[in-house]
Amino acid sequence: MSDLWLDTWWEHLGHPGRRFALHVPPWGVPLPLLRERRRGLRCLRAAGGSSLRCALRCAADELVQVGPALVSALACRRDWDWLELDRLLLPQAHTLAQALRGAGLSAECAAPVRQRYLPLQGPGARVAAAANPALIAELTRKERALRRRGCLEFELVTAPEPAAVHFEACLRLEAAGWKGRAGTAMLSLPAKAAMYRALVPRLAAAGTLRLALLRLDRRLLAFGLNTVYAGAMAGIKVGYDEAPGSRQFSPGQLLQWLTLRWAHAQGLREFDFLGADDAAKADWTPHFRELARLRALNRTWRGRAAAFALRRRRRSRHHGACAPAELSAPSSS
């Protein structure tokens, strides 16, 4: 279950006083969770946003192996009341929820969300065929226009020291845009920036970093923080120059197009867009996976009381409805 993303997140953003280690025998290492208090309930949630998915690496066969041990480890403990495991593959979430219910716990899956991915294997035209044809035509035109303006460079940085240097420019570029104004840029939160500064050289040292850079006459137009794993490529962070003279050429989308072309030429099987679904990602691919949040209540007196209150609330709100309602998370106190 050793995962650079999860380990780095845990080191920089996993507050020591809130850490909760769940030992699952088949893994040999603890599953990291965060402990919270919400309306008197002792709540656990996935560290890094997707602990279990990182641990399982989307492998259904591994879930068959560790699933019973995970359920047993959760069901035998009385030091938690509410559990949330986020962004599980929908079949995995349903399998775990069923197993938890079989162990006497209340468990439901929240409504699934979409996460886009693009298959890359096959003829070269397949990459373009999956995307919006108008988008590809427009980006081809803008790439030519930029090349007429100067020296357009597309580079993938993989070595630790150059990656650390180039990433500082990427941080500044992101902070200069709308994310900086909204307070969501990496540099807006020192702990978050420190995490990514530590993550980049670690990924590079492991040989999995692909920091994509798009420059015009050595000026950074866009960047993409990517990683490769199991024959696939995943996009973690993107940023682009929002100045009018650059934005008219859609540098972020152009960088994505060049990155996909490179990944296809390398024989990678797919590109995972990660994060929430949106129209921009839908322009690149019609393919998506459904991810769900697993929510469970323990057999503690607090957990039973919360389960009873939720069932009563569902009956009052959805009296006569045929479909079962889902558990809703307690509000933070």
Residue range 25-79, pLDDT digits in tens: 766 666 778 888 988 999 998 876 554 444 444 444 556 667 788 888 889 999 9
Does the pLDDT at position 327 exceed 70?
Answer: no
Nearest to 291 by CA among 116, 120, 130: 116
| Dihedral (Cα; 221, 6, 81, 276), 10-degree rounding | 30
Report pLDDT for 93: 86
pLDDT digits (tens, 9 = 90+) for 134-182: 899 999 999 999 999 999 999 999 999 999 999 999 999 999 999 999 9
Percent of the chain residues past pLDDT 70, beyond the cut: 85
Report pLDDT for 125: 56
Bridge partners of 238, per DSSP, are: 224
| pLDDT interval class at 333 (50, 70, 90) | very low
pLDDT digits (tens, 9 = 90+) for 95-126: 889 999 999 999 999 888 898 999 988 665 56
Report pLDDT for 177: 93
Cα–Cα dist 7/198, whole Å:
11
Asked if 108 and 96 touch (Cβ cutoff 8 Å), the reply is: no
| pLDDT interval class at 92 (50, 70, 90) | confident
Report pLDDT for 67: 78
| pLDDT interval class at 214 (50, 70, 90) | very high
pTM: 0.84
* DSSP state letter for 131: S
Read off the tokens for 101: 């219910």
Cα–Cα dist 194/171, whole Å:
11
| Structural domains for the chain | 4-113+292-317 (no CATH), 121-268 (3.40.630)
